[in-house]
Structures are given as structure tokens and as C-alpha cells.
Amino acid sequence: MDKSRVATLHQLLNQYNYEYHVLDNPSVPDAEYDQLLHELIAIEEAHPELKTDDSPTVRVGGTPLSRFEKVNHDTPMLSLSNAFSEADLRAFDERIVKDVGQVEYMVELKIDGLAVSLKYEKGKFVQGLTRGDGTTGENITENLKTIHAIPLSIDSPLTFEVRGEAYMPRKSFIKLNEQKEKLGETLAANPRNAAAGSLRQLDSKITAKRNLSVFLYSVNDLKELNAQSQSEALDKLDELGFVTNHERALCKNIDEVLQYIEKWTKLRNDLAYDIDGIVIKVNDLHKQQELGFTAKSPRWAIAYKFPAEEVVTTLLDIELSVGRTGVVTPTAVLEPVKVAGTTVSRASLHNEDLINEKDIRIGDSVVVKKAGDIIPEVVRVVMDRRKPDAVVFKYPEICPSCGHHLVRIEDEVAQRCINPKCDAKLVEGVNHFVSRTAMNIDGLGEKIVESLFNEDLIQDVADIYGLTKEMLLPMERMGEKKATKLLEAIENSKQNSLERLLFGLGIRHLGAKACQILAENYMTMDRLKTVTVDELVTINDIGHKMATSLVTYMENEDIIRLIDKLKDYGVNMSYTGTLKTEIEGHPAFEGKTIVLTGKLSVLSRQEATKQLTNLGAKVTSSVTKKTDLVIAGEDAGSKLVKAESLNIEIWSENDMVKALEDL
């Protein structure tokens, strides 16, 4: 009886789920679905042997995990090249036409969510992965099972992998934030972040409550569907019970593609979910195969990204902050407003000249824009909305932190505090000193640094090395374990090579690359104390401004005392890295001009630049005809597009890492 009833409940629940989440046409009320689901749960609790992996009850979540397993994709999940303008799209079309002749394009909405891969074996959903780095993803199968739009089984014995985008509908996002607000929790920034966070919950019961959905857009091997085109493949996915986005369109040429983009640029806010662009694919699968792939992305597809969104809000105030070099930076305090999916309440104003040039006043209605992860900025004032009581901002003559007179150095736009004892400068200087690219003292965050200053436990960077457990433990949120780990990190940082210490000291005009060059050339801090400007400018990449800055710095009595203090605490003062003369060049890199673009996940950009430079490469920031190689990380943009148009060799980050490991 129970076995027969279980089969009936499976059939009914799967049917009602399909009607509701795929067809958007439910045949029964939610209450009836819930009643049947609870009946099935009760039977499975009484008879665990009747529960199957594809039971509708898995939608409510299961036992929490301790971690996510890393799994290699059967075929890499490549990301797409990006286009940001009509010119980029026409260049893409010209390259396609040149290579394979005139084509039709399938255009689809680019869902702003999290890319996922779903594996089916003999029609059963068995594994779901995140994109990860494209080669390896995280196993989030149990969380994906809670998404009703993902079929747990299909009416076909197919073994294949379906790919798509999991997302949080806008109504689910609003509901989530209403719940967070009631509980006094921090609100989710936007639906994309909320979806990503929901899918990475170790407890799938939490994911189940977030009401996520999914759109599927491809199969890793389209031969499984016996499809001849992208449009046919999507239709076949529909027939199998998968959810695809039906706002897609088949365009005969690039002009029709541009019309489609224009339409959805206007209508995007009317959708029930967020999109951040349009995906354009060559429709014919045979021509896709003929066009092939770069190391990072398919040559037959491109993603058009919507331009930066602009909104109007009120500028409530202008606040000033002092950086480690003494530059006083103005920031606009805004009436909170949603821009590009996130709530913005602060925006950059850059400097005094910009405020005057744009005639920005407190109380003005201003246009704010934010593209992707770029810091929001004030674009312009809406002059016809200016109120009579709008206040002209007068830049101060004294430092807002220490009261010392500000100066404006010739040929610079910044107002600067030159007081070496300025508290704000000292705090920012320590934050820079302990940062990952400098001394890399893990656990010494901005709040702890500020507390150390407030408690008068440190006055300069050298005092960090005099900290003890007895000094740290009375601090707020500083337990025994945390204090021990912090002191270990401080102790370990003493062994850093000279270039890290130089960069950490924050010498004006000297970036990480210049510090590396100086450390390699002079080997010790004592030698650097005695160099002259004339001597320094003979070194490649060290200009007069850098040389003058270093010599002036090393002549300062306070700096000499600080360096001696660091030395007394046992901080290393010598270069311990590998000298270029000891390194053999690598044929893939030596003598080549290389550009890094996109987000790197294995190496930091600084570390990758350092290793490539040590192997004889010249790493530059822009792609030109002289560029020999482009190494593309995740979300590579216009530089990758340009490299493809110039037929420059393109590597993925994994290609670079493998070549480095082969050494």
C-alpha cells in the first residue's frame, strides 16, 4: 500500500511542480501541493527504505554538509568574451563573417545569477556544480535539488550535462530582505549576491527557503540532443522538461541583434528577474565547431554588457578622509539610492578641482553612476533642480584629522597634510604596511589597527612588532586563540624579503614594481640609505621623480629612527628573492610583451606579474599590435576582445600556471 501510494504521490507532485514552475500554469492550489508533500514526508519517515534520490521531498533540503567537495568539470565551463558597445559587436560580426560567411545569431537574455552545471545519468539528476575557475567547481548538488525548476528526473534515458544560470527572482529577493530586516540582520545587496550566497549554504534547508530558480541555456555535448543549431537545442531542452528563457530570438544579421539589444535595454526593469546583458551566439552548430575556441572562451559567442546605470539622488553632505600619503579626499554622502542592483549611499568626488568644475553643492540633485564593481561616482548636477539653499562647499585649509595646515604641491590637484604625526595618516600607513601586497600580516584588519591606535598601543609601524599577548587580550573581541594567531603572523612577517618592507613603508611614487627593482639592485636597506639620485636614475624603470622621493625619504631623521627600530625588532632588511641573473628565461615568456586581464584566482596579479617579469617578460597594461600574449582570467573584457580582433595569442590562467609549474 505504502509503496503504491509513494509512486502515486511522486507522479502527482512532479506533475504539479512542472505545471507551476515550468509552465507557470498551476492546476491545483498551493495548499493541496503542500498537503501531498507532507503526506509523502510522513511515509518516508516511517519507511526510510521507500525514499529515493529523486523523491520530491528532497526539495525541502537535507542534512547539513561540513564543506563543499571540489569536482573537475567533464568539459571546461568557459566564460564569454565581453562587448560594451555597438563597435565591439560589429567587430565580432566582421570576424565571424570573414571566417565562416554570413550567419544567423541566437540572442538570449544574460541572466544575472550564478552559472551552474547539472549532470544527468540515464535521465536522473546526479550532480550539480558551480562554475568555479572553469575547470573545477564546487559540488552543490543538494542545494540545487531544492530548486523546483530543476527536474530531478526526465522522461528520457539521456546521460549528459546541462548548463545554465541559477538566480533569485526579484519577489524572492524582496521577501528575503523583509525577513532579514525583521531579524535585524544585514540586508542582501542584490539578487545576484543573494543567489550565490544561498547556493553556498552548507545547510540545504536554508537554500530551500530562498525560492531560487534557473534558466538552462546549453548542453556540454549537443550531439546528445541530435540538434543542428542552438535554437533547436533550446527547443529540445523545453521538450525534456527543462526551463529555458523564452525571450530569446533568432536574428538574421547583426542589425537585428542591435535592435533586440535596444528593446531589452529599455524593458529590462519590467522583468521578474535581473539581467546584466545580452548573449549572442552563432546559431548553426557546425559553424560553431568551425570557429572553435580560444583558451578562455568560444569564438562563436559574445556577451554584450549593458552600459553603466545612471540614477538621480540628493547630495546630503561632503565628508573628507585623509590617506596614508596625506591626500585629503572628498566623498559625497547621498540619499540612499539603488544603482546597478546595489544600494549606494556614498560616491567618489575625487578632488577639489572636480567639485568646482562640476559646481557640485550640498543639497543638489546629482546623477550617480556605477558600472559593475567600480566605485560609484557623481557624474553631474541636475541644474534645473537646484534649490536656492544649496550650499557651496568650501575646501578646508586645515587637516580634518590633526588640524595641521594643508598644502597643494605644484602640478598636483590634491590638497595634502604634510604633518608626519597626523593620526589619520599614521592609521592608513599601518593599514598599508600590513596589507597582503606589503608585509602580509593576516588578521591585522582596519578595525584592529584603529583600536591599537586608540588604545595608544602603537604609534608607528615598528610598534606592531612590540605587541604582546598581554597587550592584545584586553581589546574588544580579542580572545586567546585570535591573539596567538595574530602574533604568529606578525612574527612570520619579519622574514619577508626587502621589497615587501620597502613597499610597506609607503614611500611616495614607489609602487611594488619599483620596490622590487630597487631591492634586487641594492640588496640591503643599509645600501639604499646611501644611494644618490644620479646613481638611481641609471637603473631601468627608475625615473627622476622616484629617485628624488627615495633619497629624500632616506635622509629624514625620523625615517632613519623608524628603520633602526624595525631592525632592532628583528625585521629582515635584505633581499632574499631570486636574482634575475640566477633565473633562466622561459621560451613562452622571455622577451615577450604580455598583458594580464580579468580576475585571476590562483595567483594574485602582483605575483603573476613578478613571476613573468623574472622570466624575462615585459608585462604591460594595454593590448596593442606589439603585444605577444594575453593571459585572460575570469570576466575578461574589452582587452580580450581586442586581442582576438588582432589575432594575438590568448592563454587562460591555467595555461600560465601550468607553464610556471613546468619550471
Q: Which residues are catalytic?
A: 110
The CA–CA distances, whole Å, from 629 to 368, 587, 621, 641, 656 equal 37, 12, 12, 13, 11
In contact, 499 and 519? CB cutoff 8 Å: yes
Phi, psi of 407 (to 5 degrees): -125, 155
Residue type, 642: K
101 CA to centre of own chain:
36
Q: Which three cell numbers stand for residue 412?
A: 598636483
In contact, 303 and 86? CB cutoff 8 Å: no
Q: Which three cell numbers stand for residue 155?
A: 522522461
In contact, 345 and 351? CB cutoff 8 Å: no
Q: For residues 198 and 204, what is the distance between their CA atoms, to the nearest angstrom?
A: 9
SS (H, E, C) 47-116: CHHHCCCCCHHHHHCCCCCCCCCEEECCCCCCCCCEECCHHHHHHHHHHHHHHHCCCCEEEEEEECCEEE
In contact, 150 and 240? CB cutoff 8 Å: no
**Antiparallel, parallel or unpaired: β 391-392 and 361-362:** antiparallel
CB atoms within 10 A of CB 477: 8
**What contacts 24+ positions apart, CB below 8 Å, involve 127-131?**
127/71, 129/71, 129/73, 130/199, 130/200, 131/77, 131/79
Element at 294 (helix H, strand E)? none
Q: Which candidate, 491, 493, 444, 496, places its Cα nearest to that of 472?
A: 444
Which sign, positive or negative, has the C-alpha torsion 5, 6, 11, 15? positive
Q: For residues 210 and 202, what is the distance between their CA atoms, to the nearest angstrom?
A: 14
**Beta-bridge partners for 377:** 348, 369
Q: Which three cell numbers stand for residue 145?
A: 535539488
Beta strands in 73-229 (DSSP E): 82-83, 105-111, 114-121, 124-130, 136-138, 160-167, 213-219
Q: For residues 560 and 252, what is the distance between their CA atoms, to the nearest angstrom?
A: 71
Q: Which candidate, 463, 511, 107, places its Cα nearest to that of 283?
A: 107
User: For residue 330, what are the contacts with CB-CB under 8 A and spacing of at least 6?
Assistant: 318, 319, 320, 349, 350, 351, 352, 355, 393, 395
In a 10 Å sphere around its CB, with 0-12 CB exposed, 13-18 middle and 19+ buried, how is residue 205 labelled? Answer: middle
In contact, 563 and 525? CB cutoff 8 Å: yes
Q: Which three cell numbers stand for residue 68?
A: 563543499
In contact, 338 and 191? CB cutoff 8 Å: no
**Antiparallel, parallel or unpaired: β 649-652 and 629-632:** parallel
